[in-house]
Structure 1
Amino acid sequence: MPFTAKSGKFNASINAVEFGTGDKAVKIGGENVFPLYSFDAAIENAPKVGIEITDFGMEHEPECIKKYYEGCATLADMARKAASMEGVDFLSFRMEGGDPNGANKSTEELIGELKEIADAVDLPLVVCGCKNVEKDAELFSKAAEALNGKNAVILSAKEENYKTVGAAAGLAYKQVVGAESAVDINLAKQLNVLISQLGVDSKSVVMNVGTAAVGYGFEYVISTMDRVKAAALQQGDANLQMPIITPVASEAWGVKEAMASETDAPEWGSQEERGIDMEVETAMAVIAAGSNAVILKHPESIKIISGLMKELV
């Protein structure tokens, strides 16, 4: 008797969200099958890959990253160089120096740098903060205004500051709002509901459900993403049908396996190879679990993940 495979295509689908403008705009989401299940139904929008730079430039980056930006005198130069890397779909700018417990850079300085970057490149932009909720509320509000008309992703609003961020980014300046929760499906859903109650269109919301580098509590990340996608597709839960963007770079390059120098850990081999491995393994794992876009740092990692997406989707 012939075997007839059962389709894994669902009636529900992930929202398709576009960010950026013009020919370089990208669209994520839109699928009605589980991640990478292109054998069940066509996945029109393959997962996208972004490249991250920060307001610190190359100050805190390992040598294996710095070499790709030789000759760059300004952040605008770095942005242009980053945008030219193979496989890059969008540019992410992290305003890391705004942290009041760190460099405590002023909002004016950071927004000025953001404007320089926005003027230098035509790629879609994702704006990340400093992980201090109060400062981020201020930074994201000003960033949404500064990027008016750019259709950027403001990543991310949290439960503590979603009213300020959502009102500025999603309502006043019509940017895409990122909703960030801490690796918990219930928290993710709750935040999406709160943002929608502000009046932000659910089709203009993406999620950052949290991440970690592989080997660092990563099973919680995977199980959360699995549950989010299952609820969105199998159960048709509209409050979890937003596509997911995952900032991988800051996690993967922050662990000892990527940071330890070859002098300190000669038995571990090349630091660059270790860093790329951590970034690629983390990125591919979250894509397989449901992420619709990842933010990476090393050009080789970006090339590898971008190539895999072309082969798998």
Structure 2
Amino acid sequence: MFKKSVQKFSGKICEVEIGTGEKAIKLGGESVLPFYSFDGNTGNAPKLGMDITDDLEGWPKAILELYKDVCNDPVAWAKCIEEKYAPDFICLKLDSADPNGKDNSVEECAKTAKAVVEAIKTPLVVAGTGNHDKDAKLFEKIAQELDGHNVLLLSAVEDNYKTIAAAGAMAYNHKIGAESSVDINLAKQINILVNQLGVGNEKIVDNVGCSAAGYGYEYVISTLDRVRLAALGQDDKTLQVPIITPVAFETWKVKESVDEETWDNLEERGISMEVSTAAGVLASGSNAVILRHPKSLETIKKFVSELLA
């Protein structure tokens, strides 16, 4: 009689909770590789979020047309997504704060974030501009204004982690994203730095980087694999945190999603890029993905449910 072998690991990914009330979500908790329910505890099911922005510059026409009635108002947009599509979380991307764009003040952006979080029950992730100096000031103010809402601040990097971790995780008890650039050693390094400030793994979610499928994507997948194997197989506690991947940030800016002259059906191409990218990172270790199109959300929901069935 055939007896299937079971792969046991010594490590376990810690749980991180985001949001409050009945819609709060938990990431992580697994002690096996993604979807390997035949080997042991797969932890909490991957969580799927959708993103919105407070600055429409550069966003694809297909998305803006889809939300034309609400996209000029982040509060209305967030409520629309919550009611129509019911994602596990909503990501508010504060693009208007970018010093190379509108350069809106941190006070104005924090006011927007507070209005959004108070209008919905779905957990909120707040993403910055990518400008490290501005993001440090931005998240410091947002952490204060959103006190009690247990949001995830995405993301802290080596240049600003002290400010973001101190304000976000220590002073106001939010969760912080620790961002690195598609390298297991860099992921370890930022986690160690944050841990040394006194922030435990239960308040950290890693963003190890992302690219759209076909754009250096193999490096993203191999990094996710290595991070998960080190965390579980080598019991590397510095890597035993959930991972979030902002898929939408990458897939909706590549030529397949924005070039109207080369191929037909621009919207379907964007959805295909988003679904392909999300499926791969979830199968390789990501605990949460940020998506943009409702069809992408629907498809990945089905993908996850069938793998966990």
Tell me which residue corresponds to 1:115. Answer: 114
Does the 8 Å contact 2:243/2:288 carry over to 1? yes
Tell me which residue corresponds to 1:249. Answer: 248
Tell me which residue corresponds to 2:125. Answer: 126
User: C-alpha displacement at 1:119, in angstroms?
Assistant: 1.5
Which of 62, 65, 70 aligns to 2:63? It is 65
CA distance in structure 1 between the partners assigned to 2:218 and 2:30 by the alignment: 24
Tell me which residue corresponds to 1:282. Answer: 277
Instruction: Letter of the 2:280 partner, please give it.
Output: A
User: C-alpha displacement at 1:140, in angstroms?
Assistant: 0.8
Tell me which residue corresponds to 2:12. Answer: 13
Does the 8 Å contact 1:128/1:155 carry over to 2? yes
CA distance in structure 1 between the partners assigned to 2:192 and 2:255 by the alignment: 37
User: C-alpha displacement at 1:70, in angstroms?
Assistant: 3.7
Q: Structure 1 stretch 141-150 or stretch 2-11: which is displaced more?
A: 2-11
User: C-alpha displacement at 1:269, in angstroms?
Assistant: 1.8
User: C-alpha displacement at 1:36, in angstroms?
Assistant: 1.5
Partner-residue secondary structure (3-state), 2:84: coil
Does the 8 Å contact 1:87/1:303 carry over to 2? no
Instruction: Letter of the 1:269 partner, please give it.
Output: D
* Matching of residues 197-276 of structure 1 within 5 Å: 197-261=196-260, 264-265=261-262, 268-276=263-271
CA distance in structure 1 between the partners assigned to 2:58 and 2:116 by the alignment: 19
Superposed CA RMSD in Å reads 1.2
CA distance in structure 2 between the partners assigned to 1:68 and 1:9 by the alignment: 46
User: C-alpha displacement at 1:82, in angstroms?
Assistant: 1.5
* Matching of residues 142-157 of structure 1 within 5 Å: 142-157=141-156
CA distance in structure 2 between the partners assigned to 1:109 and 1:17 by the alignment: 29
User: C-alpha displacement at 1:308, in angstroms?
Assistant: 1.3
Does the 8 Å contact 2:10/2:234 carry over to 1? no
User: C-alpha displacement at 1:64, in angstroms?
Assistant: 2.1
Does the 8 Å contact 2:33/2:42 carry over to 1? no
Does the 8 Å contact 1:54/1:95 carry over to 2? yes
Seq. identity, % = 50
1:110-155 deviations in Å (ceiling 9; x for gaps):
1111111111111101010000000000111111111111111011
Normalising by structure 1, we get a TM-score of: 0.95
Does the 8 Å contact 2:136/2:164 carry over to 1? yes
Instruction: Letter of the 1:126 partner, please give it.
Output: V
Does the 8 Å contact 2:187/2:208 carry over to 1? yes
Which of 289, 302, 307 aligns to 2:302? It is 307
* Matching of residues 162-181 of structure 1 within 5 Å: 162-181=161-180
Q: 1:82 and 2:81 equivalent?
A: yes
CA distance in structure 2 between the partners assigned to 1:41 and 1:47 by the alignment: 16
Instruction: Letter of the 1:182 partner, please give it.
Output: S
CA distance in structure 2 between the partners assigned to 1:229 and 1:41 by the alignment: 15
CA distance in structure 2 between the partners assigned to 1:210 and 1:93 by the alignment: 18
User: C-alpha displacement at 1:59, in angstroms?
Assistant: 4.9
Instruction: Letter of the 2:144 partner, please give it.
Output: E
Q: Structure 1 stretch 106-115 or stretch 129-138: which is displaced more?
A: 106-115
CA distance in structure 1 between the partners assigned to 2:154 and 2:25 by the alignment: 16
Does the 8 Å contact 1:49/1:87 carry over to 2? no
Instruction: Letter of the 1:67 partner, please give it.
Output: E
Instruction: Letter of the 1:299 partner, please give it.
Output: P
CA distance in structure 2 between the partners assigned to 1:87 and 1:10 by the alignment: 34
CA distance in structure 2 between the partners assigned to 1:239 and 1:280 by the alignment: 30
Does the 8 Å contact 1:283/1:294 carry over to 2? yes
CA distance in structure 1 between the partners assigned to 2:59 and 2:190 by the alignment: 33
User: C-alpha displacement at 1:39, in angstroms?
Assistant: 2.1
1:193-223 deviations in Å (ceiling 9; x for gaps):
1101101121111100001001001111111
1:266-302 deviations in Å (ceiling 9; x for gaps):
xx22001000000000011110111000001011101
In the alignment, structure 2 segments of 5+ residues that lack a partner are none
Instruction: Letter of the 1:61 partner, please give it.
Output: W
Normalising by structure 2, we get a TM-score of: 0.96
User: C-alpha displacement at 1:42, in angstroms?
Assistant: 3.7
Partner-residue secondary structure (3-state), 1:85: helix
CA distance in structure 2 between the partners assigned to 1:197 and 1:222 by the alignment: 28
Instruction: Letter of the 2:307 partner, please give it.
Output: L
Does the 8 Å contact 2:54/2:73 carry over to 1? no
User: C-alpha displacement at 1:8, in angstroms?
Assistant: 1.9
Instruction: Letter of the 1:160 partner, please give it.
Output: D
CA distance in structure 2 between the partners assigned to 1:50 and 1:100 by the alignment: 26
Partner-residue secondary structure (3-state), 1:84: helix
